[in-house]
Structure 1
């Protein structure tokens, strides 16, 4: 007997400030003006997506003492944008990245509980950490937290916010016998938390929200991050969108759930995925090549190489050969606040590998960056892309995908119009929303209806 088809989960990442976006395209628009967010969100909702996702940047990134080119127009505040989008959407989930290293549990819990009320139960929190002292300089605790303690704080941070969300559970309304006025039980909202990182008490002033608690996402790929997700998250973002890598990640994380008393369906795994669509597979391949060249200008190629070399390479020709000098492996890095710095753990080994690739393929610096950078996850006609996405999900490489188009804000339109209907025809994606909350979209139980899945503080 064949197992039933899994239903695919789809979400959309507003591309804004990242290396995916092609700002040189005439269709590219602002990632600050609210109209861009409205267009993107309403497209995702029209396609019946589960949620929209906004990343967060707490400081403008720098390289060689200058603001990185993608950051020059700034980054809007996550909560402000999501709250505004709640007013122009009816069903779409609203997911935001909020850092647990530079915030306080009471403030974050209050903001997410408020967003959940404003949206009718559609909020979600992507819990992230930061060891980056450069970013921390913006905060009063700038860079104070050692890297090995960041997950300890994050676990206690999440546990504390859950205590705040749950502090309104079981509240009662009682009538004063003398006046007839209805009053809330004084215990509603009361909390006390004493731990390594937080020692707080009082009364939480936002009543229990439609979802009970916002949906919790986590994005760490380290062993600590995977354990954190298995113990306490409702979904985990994955960077493994290829079939075999995705299956290995999926199996590893799902197998960690049992030790926390959780079932496989209580944690969704959702990789980020870019795409290039054409009327034919050949047309899509040509578009994908063109997009990759647009994403990597000559200046961008040099900046990318500087991540690894940790040197000023502005005198090098991006259409010429790689530098013959070795990377500088000192602790003082040329790039500040960029995730790519942490991706290359062994710069000398990376440089050797890249020189060999460039020599074997006669690649210039720009050619190398184009060919070793992230390629589109799904390339092909709508039929090919729909078929591939379904195959990956049914093969347990993921539970769905968070789509990252290369154009802001209209890049999602073609996927919504041409791929989603094919998935719906296959019976693996909804034709309408079945409930009002994000938990309904994701198939997750309300916290009051399921056993507690808490992280011990």
Structure 2
């Protein structure tokens, strides 16, 4: 194996409501209590991670007209939590997912700049768009935007936010801001002086062609979903190749897929633990719910240990509200049927196999080596770890895998800077007065 020429990057994701976290496990804590956020953040900082990452929920999801959030319901607003975490951490980056669809540039730019000041330059923003009218009902204008309009709004939103951040000179003078675009008109003065990083680090998670172009033009980090080596390498090569058209270089954008991990003293033990975790994540009830979200119809009469439905999905179903279907329902159904038939899988077994994220499963040494291989072979610049237990699920990785990465020269042995940009090896933005 060739030696790494650069260190890999690590971040920690505090899961929201999904089929990764096993909230029913007796070791799981609260998704609301601050001690949960503090524990995971302190563990990530002890492990010298680049940043701590929070999701956003703008509306409680519904299924068949009832609130359905996989064992837990509700979560605090992300930037509020990060401001509190700034007081109990010293170096760890603090990143929040905030929608560019249902926020305004001036207000969000102010909150992020404030977090950057309070944390000493550790703020990050995961820019997302929101696709559904169901979520829009929680906001005055309601409705939703088509995909192209969402990305145009997001691009203008980020451009306007950067104008606001640049409106204070490096020597501390405020200058008026003027911005007139299709979505926003801003005239006035920004109230927050230029922050330690200049601009908070921008993260992006879209995988469409529009999302890839947006990331190549504007993002510092991509939170990708491509878990296999082959898919990761294809995505990595595609996005990195887009940078030159925007006057950017290979290392100006870090690609960090979201991954899970399961450790064991032997590979066999790790595989056994991983299988048990997947069974916990996909209970019989959740298997039927996952199936209904694809098929768009009531399948409560189906046996989770029986075969998949022979009927086709209903493409425009509103059975599940507040979440986006995972691709074209007909294509997903066909893929699931083929998988089920090829391996003789039941509904629950199919959902377990088809919806699992890429996991690094094995001994600590095997996981460390596999992570190195992904970076060596150009599938990632690092990883955003999504533990299945909150808040203590990261402890074992920090205790057992991080030291092995450090021994191999694949991960830092101490923070060399104080800002999130320094952790990621990103230059401070040039002031554009």
1:302 maps to 2:288: yes
1:195 maps to 2:177: no
* Equivalent-residue separation in structure 2 for 1:355 and 1:215 (angstroms): 42
* 1:177 alignment partner in structure 2: none
* Equivalent-residue separation in structure 2 for 1:382 and 1:206 (angstroms): 45
* 2:24 alignment partner in structure 1: 24
**Matched positions, count:** 432
1:236 maps to 2:218: no
Deviation at 1:234?
A: 0.7
Deviation at 1:3?
A: 7.5
* 1:404 alignment partner in structure 2: 386
**Contact 1:230 1:256 (8 Å CA) reproduced:** yes
* Equivalent-residue separation in structure 2 for 1:20 and 1:89 (angstroms): 26
Alignment of 1:394-433 (within 5 A): 394-433=376-415
* Equivalent-residue separation in structure 2 for 1:44 and 1:56 (angstroms): 20
Report which of the two structures shows the higher radius of gyration computed on alpha carbons: 1
1:334 maps to 2:319: yes
* Equivalent-residue separation in structure 2 for 1:265 and 1:348 (angstroms): 38
Look up the SS of the partner of 1:422 in the other structure. helix
* 2:231 alignment partner in structure 1: 245
Identify the match of residue 280 of structure 1 among 266, 283, 291: 266
* Equivalent-residue separation in structure 1 for 2:250 and 2:108 (angstroms): 28
Alignment of 1:64-213 (within 5 A): 64-70=64-70, 72-171=72-171, 185=173, 188-213=174-199
* Equivalent-residue separation in structure 1 for 2:248 and 2:334 (angstroms): 44
Identify the match of residue 344 of structure 1 among 327, 332, 343: 327
Deviation at 1:144?
A: 4.1
Change (3 A) 1:16 1:149: closer
1:440 maps to 2:422: yes
* Equivalent-residue separation in structure 2 for 1:190 and 1:212 (angstroms): 17
Look up the SS of the partner of 1:13 in the other structure. strand
* Equivalent-residue separation in structure 1 for 2:422 and 2:333 (angstroms): 48
Change (3 A) 1:356 1:447: closer
Q: Superposition RMSD on alpha carbons, in Å?
A: 1.6
* Equivalent-residue separation in structure 2 for 1:348 and 1:16 (angstroms): 28
**Contact 2:4 2:410 (8 Å CA) reproduced:** no
Give the TM-score normalised by structure 1.
Answer: 0.91
1:384 maps to 2:369: no
1:271 maps to 2:254: no
Provide structure 2 residue ranges, at least 5 long, that are not aligned to the other structure: none
Deviation at 1:169?
A: 1.8
Look up the SS of the partner of 1:317 in the other structure. coil
Give the TM-score normalised by structure 2.
Answer: 0.96
* Equivalent-residue separation in structure 1 for 2:330 and 2:228 (angstroms): 27
